């Protein structure tokens, strides 16, 4: 059974292919794929293209096949805070979400409540501006949107502006560039109306600003990261659930790997499935031109790209959004690496931020 919580849905991100990094990491004993005594697994995700893995995995039955007799219940959310609230309240066992909410939750719960057990998506974000803005210096005095104060794209914009010698606005500083946290759909309309000069937004909103709003890409965020890779979406589980039901988590991870593999081999069918699910959940679908462009700007990957999470946290600290944090223990990739090893695939790294034991 699927329950849905959504308002104005931000259709953020798209899919390009499957990436599995061959970084070193600790491995764990194969935990198998049966789920033991747990009767139900409750999974949360967004009806967004950056969440293509669970959208396809649920629609095509990859998770349920791995869970066997264990029931899969799903809830979709429009924003990270509501999903995190459900996770911390024990209403969810696992959730797909972006890096900033994961960092904030880990810090606020003193490293106790959640663990990242797998990656899901990399890339798919850009700074799109109106024609005539061609250099960072041209942004001085301009208004640039981000999806939400302190969210992943907001942190990225603020960090990048600082490297360009520009001061982003904040509650206490006017700044050189007016950063305006705005819902993505509203950003597009304001951009069309000439009331915003651009936005650092995830896909497919970046593609919509280009194709529907006549904007140009000033910064493709992939160009700012080593090998163009940075975490956009990953899979969290409640620490308690992971400790009590590692086999159920293994089933989820196996279902994810199956889904990512199918998407990589069947990109056209994957896009059809994604658009059909978006229409079913939200009542809206994407134009083929937007979907195709956005699809090419994101990579699905089981690797959580752990090094980028620490950098994301460092950027948030530098922007004054959070205090200095120690992320040691936020990852537990033992289940993932066991699942990869069972397929003869290389382990992925937790960049020294893994849970002990």
Residues 149 and 279 in one domain: no
Q: What is the CATH number of the domain that holds 117?
A: 3.40.190.10
**Residue 291 in tokens:** 């979907």
Report d(CA 155, CA 150) in Å as an integer.
6
Residues 113 and 212 in one domain: no
pLDDT bin (cut points 50, 70, 90) of residue 49 is: confident
Among 227, 251, 283, give the residue marking a domain's end: 227
pLDDT bin (cut points 50, 70, 90) of residue 28 is: very low
State the residue range of the domain holding 202.
138-227
Q: What are the φ and ψ backbone dihedral angles of 139, each rounded to 5 degrees? A: -80, -10
Q: What is the CA radius of gyration of the chain?
A: 19
Which range has the worst mean pLDDT, 69-83, 114-128, 212-226?
69-83
Task: Report CA 159 to chain centroid distance, whole Å.
Answer: 18
Domain count, the chain: 2
Report d(CA 201, CA 146) in Å as an integer.
6
pLDDT > 80? residue 326 = yes
Residues 223 and 257 in one domain: no
Residue 24 within any structural domain of the chain: yes
Residues 103 and 168 in one domain: no
pLDDT > 60? residue 36 = no
Residue 351 within any structural domain of the chain: no
**Residue 9 in tokens:** 């849905």
pLDDT > 50? residue 285 = yes
Residues 51 and 117 in one domain: yes
Among 207, 227, 247, give the residue marking a domain's end: 227
pLDDT digits (tens, 9 = 90+) for 216-253: 999 999 999 999 999 999 999 999 999 999 999 999 99
Its pTM stands at 0.84
Coil, strand or helix: which one is 94? strand
Residue 94 within any structural domain of the chain: yes
Among 179, 200, 227, give the residue marking a domain's end: 227
Position 35 scores a pLDDT of 52
């Amino acid at each position: 059974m699927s329950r849905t919580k959504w308002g104005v849905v931000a259709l953020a991100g798209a899919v390009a292919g499957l990436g599995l990094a061959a970084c070193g990491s600790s491995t764990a004993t194969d935990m198998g794929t049966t789920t033991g005594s747990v009767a139900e697994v409750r999974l949360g995700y967004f009806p967004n293209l950056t969440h293509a893995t669970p959208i396809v995995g649920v629609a095509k039955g990859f998770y349920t096949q791995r869970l066997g007799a264990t029931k899969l219940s799903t809830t979709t959310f429009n924003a990270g805070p509501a999903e995190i609230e459900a996770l911390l309240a024990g209403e969810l066992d696992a959730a797909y979400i972006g890096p900033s909410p994961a960092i904030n939750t880990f810090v606020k719960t003193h490293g106790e409540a959640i663990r990242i057990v797998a990656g899901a998506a990399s890339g798919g974000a850009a700074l799109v501006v109106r024609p005539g803005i061609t250099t960072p210096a041209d942004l001085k005095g301009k208004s640039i949107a981000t999806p939400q104060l302190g969210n992943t794209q907001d942190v990225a914009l603020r960090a990048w502006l600082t490297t360009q010698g520009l001061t982003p606005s904040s509650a206490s500083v006017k700044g050189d560039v007016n950063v305006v946290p705005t819902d993505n759909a509203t950003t597009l309309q304001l951009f069309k109306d000439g009331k915003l000069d651009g936005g650092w937004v995830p896909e497919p909103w970046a593609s919509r600003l280009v194709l529907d709003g006549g904007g140009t890409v000033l910064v493709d965020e992939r160009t700012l990261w080593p090998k163009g890779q940075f975490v956009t979406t990953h899979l969290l589980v409640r620490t308690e659930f992971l400790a009590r039901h590692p086999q159920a988590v293994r089933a989820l991870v196996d279902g994810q790997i199956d889904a990512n593999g199918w998407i990589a081999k069947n990109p056209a069918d994957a896009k059809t499935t994604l658009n059909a699910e978006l229409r079913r959940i939200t009542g809206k679908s994407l134009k083929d031109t937007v979907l195709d462009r956005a699809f090419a700007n994101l990579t699905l990957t089981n690797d959580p790209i752990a090094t980028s999470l620490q950098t994301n946290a460092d950027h948030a600290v530098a922007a004054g959004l959070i205090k200095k944090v120690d992320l040691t223990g936020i990852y537990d990739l033992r289940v993932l690496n066991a699942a990869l090893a069972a397929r003869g695939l290389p382990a992925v790294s937790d960049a020294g931020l893994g849970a002990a034991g």
